[in-house]
Structure 1
């Protein structure tokens, strides 16, 4: 309850209580003295003494309270108000320390705190303004880059609303074209592109749960019916189902391909038939129809013509297969998609699939199979069955049934029909042409009829490898002219570094020990670039001792197919070119690298910094400077499974270096030359360490 009262009122109550206690104590003392004296005539004297003592005590307490209130309580409240004004309002005026001159160092300390707060706030405002300007500049650069990207880029929310699009995307989806809806943010993507393939791709990506998965698909615009090659990728963690869609208009390419294929098909037919006729004529020609030399030459030329036609046909088929840049689709996904499509129309199909990955556009193949299944249902066939089986280097999709047989002519008429009302200009046969395949009817030994659709390329599914994280890597500060300054005068946070570490067969490079793993990361303008990593196992050309394997876990079997030391060191030299090398206990790792200089004709003459010495500069030589000790002091956690791996130790060293940078700057060591001068004082550490 008392905490709700003001400071001055609480102090007043304290002094009032003190005064009351003094009066009570004085009264009790006088009463005790009177009772022991035992003289009734002395009562008046005791009363007068008590009254005078009480008033004197009250006056003294009141005077002390007044002085305390004037010089302590009131200044404290004034000081608190001034501090709150500077903490919560934009007050920058200097505080008057005289208001609390009787409070010792409190007023100067409060004044220093307020001044520090003002300076921090000012520095923060400047940093925010500077960072805002930098981000605005980078935003403008990124917008310029995206506007010049030749493919359309669209960013959509989970409900398929436009969040971002660049200029080519606006052109592709209909801006400025007759019948095309003007592109606009928060409009549905389906206003511009037919929904079915996009929904299918989005559902498949959401089902995988893999943020790095992509889906390649073909789709068509609602205006102009242009065919687009698209790639969809989810935004990843925090994207809530949003996705990026890249688009490329391939209408003209497909038309050109169709014309070329028609021309090649015509040319092949025009050659195949005469060649076959000539072969037949030569085969039945009497022996004496022509002189023997002429007849032999004729047979030879006809044979060459037949071989040329065969090679022409094979090359055309191979070109068709290579030209079809088709995505990979899991056979089970394709079957499940068809089952769901047909179930929505009241049709039932059983499936049997091998665990295969098919090279095909899953959406289009499902659409063709659905198209054929509907026509089969109109013929009142029995229950449908879909099977996908491996055959040679490809696979065969069979849609089988019991009941009436379907002839080639009827099948051709179905394939000539459009797949849907949305794509009236794209018949089912166009999908087969895009996949460089055909479909035909056949009858199995058990009497069931089937439609056979071969897929040229397929492979057995294996365990999914760890996805490769793709990042857009940039640092526009590299355009700064300050990068041309002399190295010694360059600020540490403006240099480019390559932090590296190696694992070896042993500790004695001069006795034949070699590198078995080498890893490195790049630090540019004070930040570790996530996407620029060098990490490889190395075949040392000699057995790895068991004692070394116990440390880093690398065995002879793991490096059997790894590149040789010379190849790895050459690649690392290129990776580190133009940067400052950083390692923990750098002389040890550098000796392994420099042993290869004569063989490769290269020199590792880059500047080198050692985090052992940097740790000594910051913490003093008396401390332990192992990587574990340094990481512990800096609050860096090294996962147990990453310790004593080249990449794990490299990342820990890089993070330690980035935390040491501001500490070095705080000691006035902000440039490379200043740090180099300082670390030379601690070189003895490395000699002792090695």
Structure 2
């Protein structure tokens, strides 16, 4: 709700200077008149005229001061303010990227200045449009290539991270974001969401990575790589990583490096379970086997066992048999949990089989099936194609029919033909052969065993002969559900300029374009935090290296712990039902504090939003002691006091359109505030305000507008 609050702007220095000029002129006029009266009095020396001289002097002094004040008012209204408006509008078009037509103020004393400024602005817009048009085709081509590359990298299943020499994130893809921390969106999952220019060691334990980095840098070989095993900071995941150092280029303080990541947490857990199972079953088999060995050693060879010895032998055999059955059961469960088999569409399997069989000169017809099965598709295709070739070579069939049918939780894959039946013994002989000559150690039985299934011949309706292969984990391939708003984005996020970014030890000396900002906004139950009003929605986004990072967004509803007034709901549209089950301010505030770590906060009328956060710092468990910039004050610095500094007015001056559905939403207003800041940033730089310290000094000149947060 910060966007619809207006605050008067500070007085620009130029107005004060002209006021002092007119004041000096007025005082000089009064002094000149007083000197003239004094001279006349000295010559006349008539006491009876002293009252008239005094009255005339006072009247003349007040008249001169009044005329001077009236003249200053006219000059200020018709010259200074319109000229300031023209200058601010020209600056917005020259540096802020505003292309809309210049609105010329109605001020006749400016003469031809205002039309000339409008013409200059129009010429600038036309020149800019011509330049943009000339490069539009090449830009579109580059953008298309860039988009294709981003899509390719986004779909890579391996996590990819690029870090600068200072271990700051420069690039990451969606897979890496899912592995090392919470993804963008709600931002309330445990762990800090990945962000550009954040330290890698906020997410991964530093020891193995630093060792590998230093070791590779010491080799001086750009092609060297190192395989490492590292864990996330919280220890929830174990990652297998390969590191490669980037070539050392001029301007870099230290060469960066690339990490490719693979989550091996499940693999290590499965391996641990297999080791535990092997150890357990070895222990369980060792005792009955030893007992059997001992019993057999005392039994004379060729003689029947005595009754008591026969009972002991049978008991140990039962123990051994139960242990073997238990081992087989646990192996079957482990195989069912094996995630190496990826979902395969039935239509894809049928098409692959048809291609393999037709390549051998056989005729194949296939049906359609909506099923998905978890299996190793290439192995299944190789096995059935091998059997089809063997059937055809034996003269049992010349044409085949392929179909996949659903039966409960199974998918029955059937290879049918018209002709003689297939003997079971012959099928078993073929299963002992390797279906793929390139892998002679893997037989058909191995493939069946790996899938936990079997295959058999059968006779179908109307005498059709076929072999049947059941596959588990079958389900219908339905339409993909719509993505959740808090789902991890698969987009790649990067800014390669961060590789050679210079770090400044003092915040005040850091250029504005090199700072990392978090622009945020809140929606509340009302305007009075001291009287119990609370936050109902928070949204924030990040600006790094002077650019908004599209993939790094924070947004959440907040349960205020009190009723939301109907008047507030009419403004932001958030109802009591919408916040039911949302995090409270403690959880949402902690997530926002993590999202804004190491950043400068920006808000429109920041004291309002900060007051709601700071009153809950004890519950949040963190202090919002970030440096703060306020776009109300920045607007006053750029445009002067005479302008309206509401968010709507500021966006209108800067040519920013806020969609109606986004207005008075936390994310919509935060996005508008970010856009306004990014357009005002080059305007500040054009005025020589280049560093954070310089912009603070300018903002403090307007300290009566808002409480100075810094």
TM-score (normalizing by structure 1): 0.51
Structure 2: runs of 5+ lacking an equivalent? 1-160, 173-259, 296-305
Aligned residue runs from structure 1 range 544-563, under 5 A? 548-554=568-574, 558-563=578-583
Q: Which whole-Å CA distance do the structure 1 matches of 2:389 and 2:570 have between them?
A: 64
Q: Select the residue among 673, 676, 685 that pairs with 1:665.
A: 685
- How far apart in 1 are the matches of 2:407 and 2:582? 33
CA distance in 1, matches of 2:329, 2:577: 42
Task: Tell me if 1:319 matches 2:319.
Answer: no
Q: How does 1:207-226 map to 2 (within 5 A)?
A: none
CA offsets per residue over residues 605-658 of structure 1, 9 Å max, x none? 111111222122111232232333323332334444444443333333223222
Inter-CA distance 639–372: structure 2 relative to 1 (3 Å threshold): farther
SS at match of 2:335: helix
Residue 528 of structure 1 and its aligned partner are, at CA, apart by 2.3
Q: Secondary structure at the match of 2:492?
A: coil
- Specify whether residues 623 and 479 from structure 1 end up closer, same or farther in structure 2 by C-alpha distance, changes over 3 A only: same
Shift of 1:663: 0.9
- Aligned ranges for residues 163-312 of structure 1 at < 5 Å? 308-312=323-327
Structure 2 equivalent of residue 594 of structure 1 = 614
Task: Tell me what 1:653 maps to.
Answer: 673
Q: Conserved in 1, the CA contact under 8 Å of 2:541 and 2:554?
A: yes
1:599 Cα offset (Å): 1.3
CA distance in 2, matches of 1:399, 1:541: 64
Question: Which residues of 2 match residues 44-63 of structure 1 at below 5 A?
Answer: none
Residues 455-478 of structure 1, C-alpha deviation per residue, up to 9 Å, x if partnerless?
A: 347575342444833315355647
Residue deviations 1:132-159 (CA, integer Å, cap 9, x gap): xxxxxx99989x99xxx9xxxxxxxxxx
8 Å CA contact retained: 2:414, 2:468:
yes
In 1, the alpha carbon distance for the partners of 2:367 and 2:321 equals 43
How far has the Cα of 1:418 moved from its partner? 4.1
Counterpart for residue 520 of structure 2: 500
- Name the SS of the counterpart of 1:482 in structure 2: coil
Distance in 1 of aligned mates of 2:526 and 2:550: 30
Number of matched residues?
Answer: 423
Deviation string, structure 1 residues 436-463 (Cα, Å, up to 9, x no partner) = 5444445668876441232347575342
Partner of 2:102: none
CA–CA distance in structure 2, aligned partners of residues 522 and 320 of structure 1: 45
- SS of 1:358's partner is strand
Secondary structure class of the residue paired with 2:622: coil
Instruction: Give me the TM-score of the superposition, normalised by structure 2.
Output: 0.49
1:353 aligns with 2:373: no
Deviation at 1:539, TM superposition (A): 4.2
Aligned mate of 1:414, from 420, 427, 430: 430
Change over 3 Å in CA distance of 1:305–1:368 after alignment to 2: closer
Decide whether the 8 Å contact of 2:647 with 2:673 is kept in 1: yes
Cα distance 1:420–1:475, how it changes in 2: closer, same or farther (>3 A)? Answer: same
Q: Is the 8 A contact 2:375 2:471 kept in 1?
A: no
Question: RMSD value over aligned CA atoms?
Answer: 4.9
Separation (CA, whole Å) in 2 of partners of 1:521 and 1:341: 52
Q: 1 or 2 for the larger relative contact order (CA 8 Å, sep ≥6)?
A: 2
Instruction: State whether residues 342 and 374 of structure 2, in contact with CA within 8 Å, keep that contact through their aligned partners in structure 1.
Output: yes
Q: 1:334 deviation in Å?
A: 3.3
Counterparts of 2:311 and 2:406, CA distance in 1? 49
Distance 1:383 1:667 in 2: 80
1:451 aligns with 2:468: yes
What is the match of residue 150 of structure 2?
Answer: none
Q: Which residue of 1 aligns with 2:494?
A: 473
Q: Secondary structure at the match of 1:488?
A: helix
How much does 1:497 deviate? Answer: 1.3
From the superposition, tell whether residues 613 and 399 of structure 1 become closer, same or farther in structure 2 (CA, over 3 Å): farther
Could you say if the C-alpha distance between residues 480 and 463 of structure 1 is closer, same or farther in structure 2, counting changes exceeding 3 Å?
closer
Residue pair 2:343, 2:375 contacting (<8 A) in 1 also:
yes
Report the 3-state secondary structure (helix = DSSP H, G, I; strand = E; otherwise coil) of the residue aligned with 2:690: coil
The CA deviation at 1:416 is 3.9
* DSSP-derived class of the 1:635 partner: coil
Aligned counterpart in structure 1 of residue 401 of structure 2, from 368, 381, 384: 384
Q: In structure 1, what is the equivalent of residue 235 of structure 2? A: none
For the 8 Å contact 2:521–2:603, the answer to whether it is kept is yes
| Partners of 1:537 and 1:563 within 8 A in 2 | yes
Equivalent residues of 2:424, 2:456 under 8 A apart: yes
- Kindly report which structure 2 residues correspond to 1:531-550, keeping only aligned pairs within 5 A, or say none: 531-541=551-561, 548-550=568-570
- 2:597 is matched with 577
1:618 aligns with 2:633: no
1:141–1:290 CA distance, 2 compared to 1 (3 A): same
Which runs of 5 or more residues in structure 1 are unaligned? Answer: 1-137, 150-245, 282-287
Do the aligned partners of residues 325 and 517 (structure 1) sit closer, same or farther apart at CA in structure 2, a change above 3 Å counting? farther
Using the alignment, how far apart are the partners of 1:298 and 1:413 within structure 2? 35
Q: For 1:553 and 1:340, how far apart are their aligned partners in 2? A: 57
CA contact (8 A) 1:551 1:644 kept: yes
d(CA) in 2 for partners of 1:670 and 1:515? 34
Q: Deviations over 1:520-577 (max 9, x none)?
A: 2222222223333323344445565565555545555555454443222212211212
| Distance in 1 of aligned mates of 2:318 and 2:662 | 66
Is 2:369–2:404's contact at 8 Å kept on the other side of the alignment?
yes
In the TM superposition, what is the alpha-carbon distance from 1:675 to its structure 2 partner?
A: 1.2
Per the alignment, residue 252 of structure 2 pairs with none
Deviations, residues 155-207 of structure 1 (Å, cap 9, x unaligned): xxxxxxxxxxxxxxxxxxxxxxxxxxxxxxxxxxxxxxxxxxxxxxxxxxxxx
Does the C-alpha gap of structure 1 residues 390 and 555 become closer, same or farther in structure 2, counting only changes over 3 Å? farther
Query: Structure 1 residues 505 and 427, CA, compared in 2 at 3 Å: closer, same or farther?
Result: farther
Aligned to 2:586: 566
- Judged with a 3 Å threshold, the aligned counterparts in structure 2 of structure 1 residues 511 and 351 are, in CA distance, closer, same or farther, namely farther
Are the structure 2 counterparts of residues 665 and 405 from structure 1 closer, same or farther at C-alpha, using a change threshold of 3 Å? same
Residues 473 and 531 in structure 1, CA contact (< 8 A), matched pair in contact too: no
